[in-house]
Structure 1
Amino acid sequence: MALAAAVRRGMQAQLWGGLLQSQLRGLASSAQLQQSAAAAAAAAEASPAAASPAGPPEAAGRTVKMNLCAAVNDALHIAMAEDSRTLCFGEDVGFGGVFMCSRGLQERFGRDRVFNTPLSEQGIVGFAIGAAAEGFRPVAEIQFADYIFPAFDQITNEAAKYRYRSGAAYNVGGLTIRAPYGAVGHGGHYHSQSPEAFFTHIPGVKVVMPSGPREAKGLLLASIREPDPVIFFEAKMLYRTAVEEVPEGDYEIPLGQARTVQQGSDITLVGWGQQVRVLELAAKEVQDQDKISCEILDLRTLLPWDADAVEASVRKTGRLLVSHEAPITSGFGAEVVSTIADRCFWSLEAPPARVCGYDTPFPLVFEPLYLPTARRVAEAIRRTVTAT
């Protein structure tokens, strides 16, 4: 059976024990999944409110105000309805997940396709790799990005190398791993980390980090359909604090293309995920108080990242500042600075700057001192623009 073969390819079955075996009995074959999907589609047709609007939303111009959590949920509903091979699973995913991003999926698509797993990140990802190798499109959730490290071997030595080591005979291109990351105000050193840089060092995977609801929906749909495995980091702080108009229905935002958030002439600010919002606040402060014009770029995708867009901006402004929550040493900002220094050396009017987290475990009581806040970014902008 397809899923049984998936488990054999992905990991040793004993990691899952009886719980996984009972789950596999519900996922007996591709035919059963297709029947389940057909039933769900019929139910959606019978209940128009549950179905997502069809057709290109940009053409119709229809949008709805939603937060980032709702945008992720909307994307998952669309992906599940589109393809019977799409599965969603992880710890507590069946009832909606700890952040409720998978709410309503099990009721609509059934327990065969949306289900809880044992508390084993290695098992979750190993199972997902095996399922993807057998032609499914698993969307595996890691409850917090901090917990992704037990699955690091599965991601780096299996998912990332599957196509390469098999000479393209097999691939796990249907694999998407979702994980909430970053500060949340009270998470401390086990619930607030930003581990994206670890995965940007791994050829064979793509790393995506949306900065808001519209970006999250379009990028997640593109990730699920991407022919390479994708690690999709979602800023947990933005789940309910970021609200904006999001296109209805199905749409994608291409991976690997940066977004210009605002135009400017004095300095280029580069960020991703939650930090883009911080850059916007800092840019407004220095514009209002110092008349400094900032151009802001949201990378969206870190692997591959849009170096051409950053280069074009820095050639215009002559200055660069990169900011992220992760510790500064070996953070992805170092890659951006190094690349742009090579490409734009003769265009730079000041050394590139980085405003990041510190090289310490993520603190709890001292979180306000650790984070690269808008005030810290604004001070760095002023220093960079006035440097001679």
Structure 2
Amino acid sequence: MENKAPRGTYDILPPVSGKWQYVEQILRETAALYGFHEIRTPIFEHTELFERGVGSTTDVVGKEMYTFKDRSDRSLTLRPENTASCARALIEHSVYSGILPVKWYYMGPMFRYDRPQAGRYRQFHQFGAEVFGSNDPRVDAEIILLLLDILQRLNLSDYELHLNSVGCTVCRSRYREKLVKHITPVQERLCRDCKQRYEQNPLRVLDCKNEKCQEAIQGYPRFFDYLCEDCREHYSQVKNSLTDNGVRFIHDDRLVRGLDYYTRTAFEVHIPGIGAQSAVGGGGRYDGLVEDCGGPQVPGIGFAMGIERLLLALQELDYDNLQDNYLDVFIAVMDHNFEDTALKTLQELRAAGIRSDKDYLCRSPKAQMKYADRLGARLVILIGEEEVRHKVFTVRDMNSKKQETVTAEDLLRYIRSILVKQD
């Protein structure tokens, strides 16, 4: 047995897990500010859900899904994305018949068989937000504002918002015809994947990152020129709402997104400073998805962000200090006869919401101080014979190296005053 995680997966150990918790807290708090509530869906679903919802012609369904048969010979798939699962939950529980719009967010692992590289793994984690039940273009703007607000709260303000409209079924059909006519003479110059896309879903050729493919299709027709009047008006209102809120964006004709369910608004956010994998999040409108999954006609829009990509951006752009000290307080005993006193004090501090710990390996006083420093403790409480005799505590500030003698009655107030100054 090889004691290594499977290729494309990895362990998240402390102190890195603390950085994950910091980012996850920002994600949850920001979503709550916008009126979103958490949904948790199964990690695996019936394979048909993704084939119908995501689209059988996509790379995700065609090449990247982890699909298996269970003992009853049913085909199941580890979720490669979560929007289709949200649509399934909306239908199964008849949520669409209640108060609309429905505003959900989710966070958790997704699975795609892809070539591992920086910021891209076979088990990866996404935060996503979905709104079902409204086709108002201001909802499109709000979902984008939520994504951008998350980046601002993470101090990732150097981003580019790319925006496009991929129309409805009517104008998409008209555009597809023009695009196929343009690509047909140069199809032999396309990469192997794009030759297949040309047959099944030619819009995906626009999204190819292969430079030879982009050179071959130069001068391709712009989707915007073929939008119907309703889609053009919808896109105009989305742009106006973003502009009214001070958001700058780049109209990107090549932005079509990789999943078949997108309609009208499509968007991606890039952070140029993190290299080739610069897209940290994206999404769009999917007004036909619920119907494709077997439900009624319910419009929707959403986005997903890669948490690994966010952490990579924070690291690459020198925002690596994502959390405060690992511990607020460490209790060091100068004499092991006072271990019970230390444990009782520890529990009192924890009951007051103060992150606290102590040594459990009978280290010497000097070794305990080194251990406290390695744990990132802000304060160390020293308990020895003098402290117990006089019913006081010696509190050492690990930053200033100053020590104060504090009575038992004043201990909590004193510790809180130091921690507040730190914040």
Would you call these one fold, judging by a TM-score over 0.5? no
TM-score, length-normalised on structure 2? Answer: 0.21
Q: Which has the larger radius of gyration?
A: 2
